[in-house]
Amino acid sequence: MPQLYINTIGCQMNVYDSDQIERALAPNGYSRTNQLEDADLVIVNTCAIRAKAEQKAFSFVGRLARLKARKPGLIVGVGGCVAQQEGERILARAPQVDLVFGPKAIPRLARLVERVRVQRLRVVDIEDTEGIEELDLSSGFRDDGQVARFVTIMQGCDNFCTYCVVPYVRGREASRHPDHILAEIRMLAAGGVREVTLLGQNVNSYGQKEKLGTFAELLTGVDQIDGLDRIRFTTSHPKDLSDGLIDAFGRLDKLCPHIHLPVQSGSDRVLKRMNRQYTRAVYLERIARLRQVRPDMAITTDFIVGFPGESDADFEQTLGLIETVGFDGVFAFMYSDRSVAPASGFKGQIDDAQKKERLQRLLQQQEVFTLSSNRALIGREQEVLVEGFSTRPGLAEENTPHRQWSGRTPGNKIVNFNQDPDCAAEDAVRPGLMVGVRIEKAYSHSLWGRPIWVEEEPGGLKGDTCHAA
């Protein structure tokens, strides 16, 4: 069987697309490998959001030249956002590349790879077709033991934030039909997946253009799928966060109490220049409303520091917003100049040293809140969906002869715990089971606790109770 190696760079949408690439190539007989040396076809699924991600892609492609010299039959493909943005230029820059394809070409991939393989042609497909071409689901999905998976519900974006490449490389916003989305999630749930994260650049506007119903209606349909226990989504744009969607958090049992609501800046002046189409006051009002409906709601966000023209006073307002909201976690990025986006031509570009300094200050300020929101869980029981073994080395006092398991709370916090020989059978814990964990320690990026009960089977009864509740 020919082997396919995929290097995925970037966001969750690319993780999902890489699975679609694998599925699209299954009819050609390719099976996925984690060993680059074994591959007959290597695909780099690229990200163009920041310059660093783009450099990472080109450096990996550079390394492939040596592999191809040793293995002349190797086919090298570049997909994703950099492929869409650069097209033919990639072939000129990297002679080892045989195929360049944009995100919308994935359903055509089987034919494109065959053209390269049989005719030994170099092929480019970055056609920006309208709407969404669905992949045939009949081939199913490879069950690789993942219990939480991503499902893209829409592509592209119409918002044109002035710093962002997405509308240029992913095209106009288009939503998948709910029947396709629900069928895919039913198939995943039947295969043992217990949690899905619905993906889109602005899920709040799902279905509006095509009149496919609202996002809250889609969530209601997903909530009814048997075997599925948890629903998450990302990303929500604050300008479109409707009362209907906020109310869904109070109404739908499976919808986890966590929202990722990127704010980008705490200054109205910067938000306007970013074309975000909401103000700080609107953002705060939406947060208050979310907390009214779910007081236990975990809230995370994205910030960009050093946007062109961001003054010290603007940045202080961002720090002030962190204090006011008390986020559970943030992702913060230094503004990265993207020539295709309008902000590239804005006056007041900020130098790297100042961006770095602001990033450090922001992260330091947030650290206090992340720790305090994690510490607030100490002594409380959390339901954890076990995903696998922890990759984090345990601290001395946590180390036992037993391996550390890892999973997430409904609020999306990572919890590590040791299997407790006094609790249920030695092999009671496994990926895909819910475990009740009493939290004992809180760190910046994770929690640690002791198991109290272990589900006997997915969706089944709580098993042994081990420690006094």
Q: Which is nearer to ligand SF4, 165 or 428 (CB)?
A: 165
11 interacts with, out of ligand SAM, ligand SF4, none, CB within 5 to 8 A per kind: ligand SAM
Q: How far apart are CA 464 and CA 108, in angstroms?
A: 51
Identify residues 242-271 at the interface with ligand SAM (CB under 6 A): 262, 264
DSSP 38: G
Per CB under 6 A, 416 contacts ligand SF4: no
Beta strand pairing status for 195-199 and 148-152? Answer: parallel
Q: Measured from the CB of residue 158, what is the shortest distance to ligand SF4 in angstroms? A: 8
Residue count, binding to ligand SF4 (CB under 6 A):
10
The closest of 337, 464, 371, 451 to 405, measured between CA atoms, is 451
**CB-CB contact of 382 with 443 (8 Å):** no
**Ramachandran area for residue 326 (φ above 0: left; ψ -120 to 50: alpha; else beta):** left
Q: Which of 167, 257, 306, 329 binds ligand SF4 (CB under 6 A)?
A: 167
Euclidean distance between the first and the last CA atom of the chain, given in angstroms as a whole number? 52
Q: Measured from the CB of residue 321, what is the shortest distance to ligand SAM in angstroms? A: 14
**CB-CB contact of 50 with 163 (8 Å):** no
Q: Measured from the CB of residue 456, what is the shortest distance to ligand SAM in angstroms? A: 40
Counts for the chain of helices (H) and strands (E), in that order: 13, 20
302 interacts with, out of ligand SAM, ligand SF4, none, CB within 5 to 8 A per kind: ligand SAM
Contacts of 357-363 with C-beta under 8 Å, sequence gap 24+, read: 358/305, 358/306, 358/310, 358/315, 358/334, 359/305, 359/306, 359/332, 359/333, 359/334, 361/315, 361/319, 362/303, 362/305, 362/318, 362/319, 362/322, 362/330, 362/332, 363/330, 363/332
Q: Which of 163, 206, 405, 448 binds ligand SAM (CB under 6 A)?
A: 163
The stretch near ligand SF4 (CB under 6 A) out of 89-97, 154-162, 247-255, 310-318 is: 154-162
Q: Measured from the CB of residue 154, what is the shortest distance to ligand SF4 in angstroms? A: 11
Per CB under 6 A, 164 contacts ligand SF4: yes
Identify residues 24-53 at the interface with ligand SAM (CB under 6 A): 49-50
The closest of 326, 328, 310 to 268, measured between CA atoms, is 310
Per-residue contact track with ligand SF4, 193 to 232, x per CB under 6 A?
Answer: --------xx------------------------------
Per CB under 6 A, 410 contacts ligand SF4: no
Q: Which is nearer to ligand SF4, 260 or 280 (CB)?
A: 260
Q: Which two tokens stand for residue 278?
A: 């909401």
The closest of 399, 388, 465 to 432, measured between CA atoms, is 388
Q: How far apart are CA 159 and CA 322, in angstroms?
A: 25
Per CB under 6 A, 283 contacts ligand SAM: no
Q: How far apart are CA 243 and CA 223, in angstroms?
A: 18
The closest of 303, 300, 331 to 412, measured between CA atoms, is 300
Q: Which two tokens stand for residue 143?
A: 């069950």
Per CB under 6 A, 304 contacts ligand SAM: yes
Residue count, binding to ligand SAM (CB under 6 A):
17
Q: Which of 338, 355, 413, 438 binds ligand SAM (CB under 6 A)?
A: 338
Taking CA atoms, 5 is separated from 21, 37, 67, 139, 381, in Å, by 11, 9, 13, 19, 41
160 interacts with, out of ligand SAM, ligand SF4, none, CB within 5 to 8 A per kind: ligand SF4
Q: Which of 20, 159, 344, 349 binds ligand SF4 (CB under 6 A)?
A: 159
Q: Measured from the CB of residue 438, what is the shortest distance to ligand SF4 in angstroms? A: 38
**CB-CB contact of 83 with 46 (8 Å):** yes
Q: Which of 11, 81, 94, 151 binds ligand SAM (CB under 6 A)?
A: 11
Q: Which two tokens stand for residue 42?
A: 């290597």
Q: Measured from the CB of residue 112, what is the shortest distance to ligand SAM in angstroms? A: 26
Q: Which of 201, 300, 366, 409 binds ligand SAM (CB under 6 A)?
A: 201
Q: Which of 40, 134, 302, 357 binds ligand SAM (CB under 6 A)?
A: 302
Q: How far apart are CA 164 and CA 40, in angstroms?
A: 35
Per CB under 6 A, 336 contacts ligand SAM: yes
333 interacts with, out of ligand SAM, ligand SF4, none, CB within 5 to 8 A per kind: ligand SAM
Q: How far apart are CA 343 and CA 309, in angstroms?
A: 10
Per CB under 6 A, 174 contacts ligand SF4: no
Binding region for ligand SF4 (CB under 6 A) = 157, 159-161, 164, 166-167, 201-202, 237
* Site for ligand SAM, rule CB under 6 A: 11, 49-50, 163-164, 201-202, 235, 237, 262, 264, 302, 304, 333, 335-336, 338
